[in-house]
Amino acid sequence: MQRQAFVELSRRLLAHATAGTTDLAATTYSVSVADYADPDRWQAEMDRIFRRVPLVLALAGELPEPGSYKVTWVLGTPVLLTRGDDGAARAFVDVCRHRGAVVTPEGCGRARRHTCPYHGWTYDTNGALVGIPGREGFHELDVASHGLVPLACGERAGLVFACITPGVAIDLDEWLSGYDEVLEPFGMGRWHLVSRREVDGANWKIVYDGYLEGYHFGSLHRDTLFGAFMSNVMAYDAWGPHQRVGFARHGIERLRDKPESEWGDQEGIGLVCTVFPSVSFAFLPAGVLMSQLFPGPTPDRSRTVQSIFWDHEPSEPEQTDIEGIAEMLFGVVRDEDYATGAGIQRALSSGANTEFVFGRNELGLHRFHQTVARLLTSERV
């Protein structure tokens, strides 16, 4: 974020903290409980959102040089991301064009050739089929049309996006609506992956709701995050479907005693930048916690990959400190946020509620659910 944007956000949150207020929507907003539980609705969300829009599948630091690759599974589709000799990131369905074996297992690495483990067909970083053992057995095969199936892919602000459905084009500029200008100044594209964990969760929207408000800090995170952050003091901003949520830190009042020119970036505030539909960046002093939420395999389940990226290659003692931070944050997410989400999921059919109500102070959830609803009926993303 630009310096001026940090100052403006700090100013807003300082005003809220001083007055005991927060950003508010005009009215409350309710969502039917059936929207979380109905399998047809969930399937529509997968088809019309997750299979149609650009998803953040990596940070550029996971593909640092030509030959770098990453394989990640999204809704049953293995996606191979590569960095070509031209420096461009590309995406492919990681499925062999011979008889459908998964070519490269999940994970990151470096390889100029991707060889299928079944019969050894080999593909290059552009997805081209460059090797067929026993070539004479396939003398009629059109090699040029048997490369890995490409997926629309692009990079903005160090984030690597792809759409998981072959043949579906993406327009990243339109999709981001200027949000890349908010993210670009962080320089995340040059940051290093330093820690990664995974956690299972409930329905993807139950889980994601928790990333979009700080109303729960004082209760659910009373003994953890609430030590650092005020509860229910938020500043919400949106660029298209993407949202930035600012939180006031305890002690933000100290900014009053300093001229704005001396305020540090992120001084007195916490920052979560979400990229619709399912990725969140929580900024740390010298890095970021990226949470990638993957729905499924059934409506009541999801998986979250939590990764920490650092703005430089950490020394060994730093790495030990980072692991401590990672373990602490992971504990909060698993034992507080996701454990609560699992309880909501288990009790969804209890009949206690036909609707969930989002307060005026939960503005981020209004926007999130309105965007989901819009995409279910809209031809445009």
Interaction site with ligand FES (CB under 6 A): 96, 98-101, 116, 118-121
Q: Are 118 and 98 in contact (CB under 8 A)?
A: yes
Q: For ligand FES, give the closer residue by CB, 136 or 379.
A: 136
Q: Which among Fe ion, ligand FES, none contacts residue 163 (Cβ within 5 to 8 A by kind)?
A: none
Nearer to Fe ion, 42 or 247 (CB): 247
CB of 337 to Fe ion, least distance (A): 4
Q: State the residue for tokens 């102070």.
A: 361
Dist CA 144 CA 159 (whole Å): 30
Q: How far apart are CA 276 and CA 374, in angstroms?
A: 13
- Residues 298 and 230: their CA atoms lie apart, in Å, by 35
Nearest distance, CB of residue 109 and ligand FES, angstroms: 19
**Of 101 and 357, which has the nearer Cβ to ligand FES?**
101
| Nearest residue (CB) to Fe ion, 93 versus 284 | 284
Which of Fe ion, ligand FES, none does 6 bind, CB closer than 5 to 8 A by kind? none
Sheet holding 229-239, edge to edge: 192-201, 302-310, 287-295, 279-284, 269-275, 242-249, 229-239
Q: Which is nearer to ligand FES, 98 or 190 (CB)?
A: 98
Choose the contact partner of 35 out of Fe ion, ligand FES, none; CB within 5 to 8 A by kind: none
Contact at 8 Å (CB) between 297 and 287? no
Provide, rounded to whole angstroms, the least separation between the CB of residue 138 and ligand FES. 10
Nearer to ligand FES among residue 47 and residue 118 (C-beta): 118
Q: Would you state the structure tokens that stand for residue 298, as one six-digit string?
A: 């059934």
How far apart are CB 94 and ligand FES at their closest, in Å? Answer: 11
Which one of ligand FES, Fe ion, none interacts with residue 101, CB within 5 to 8 A by kind? Answer: ligand FES
* Residues 343, 345: Cα–Cα separation, whole Å: 5
> Which of the listed partners (Fe ion, ligand FES, none) does 337 bind, with a CB threshold of 5 to 8 Å by partner kind?
Fe ion
Per-residue tokens: 135: 């070539």
Site string for Fe ion, 322-351 (x = CB under 5 A): ---------------x--------------
Closest distance between ligand FES and the C-beta of residue 204, in Å?
A: 32
What span, in angstroms and rounded, lies between the C-alpha atoms of 364 and 237? Answer: 8
Residue 272 pairs in a beta bridge with 245, 282
Q: How far is the CB of 80 from ligand FES (least distance, A)?
A: 13
Per CB under 5 A, 180 contacts Fe ion: no
Q: Is the Cβ of residue 210 or residue 287 nearer to Fe ion in the bound state?
A: 210
* Cβ at position 142, least distance to ligand FES in Å: 16
Residue of 164, 11, 8, 153 lying closest to 83 (CA atoms): 153
Amino acid at 273: C
DSSP 269-288: EEEEEEETTTEEEEEETTEE
Is 213 one of the binding residues for Fe ion (CB under 5 A)?
A: no
Q: Which is nearer to ligand FES, 51 or 98 (CB)?
A: 98
The distance of closest approach from Cβ of residue 97 to ligand FES in the complex, given in angstroms and rounded to an integer, is: 8
d(CA 181, CA 5) in angstroms, rounded, equals: 11
Beta-ladder partners of 159: 59, 156
Stretch that binds Fe ion, among 77-85, 184-192, 204-212, 294-302 (CB under 5 A): 204-212
The least distance separating ligand FES from the CB of residue 127, rounded to whole angstroms, comes to 14
Out of Fe ion, ligand FES, none, what residue 119 binds, judged by CB under 5 to 8 A for its kind, is: ligand FES
Q: From CA 132, how far away is CA 96, in angstroms rounded?
A: 12
Asked if 122 contacts 131 with a C-beta cutoff of 8 angstroms, the reply is: yes
Query: Nearer Cβ to ligand FES, position 100 or 331?
Result: 100
- Cα–Cα distance for residue pair 48/274, rounded to 1 Å: 19
Give the interface with Fe ion as residue ranges (CB under 5 A).
210, 337
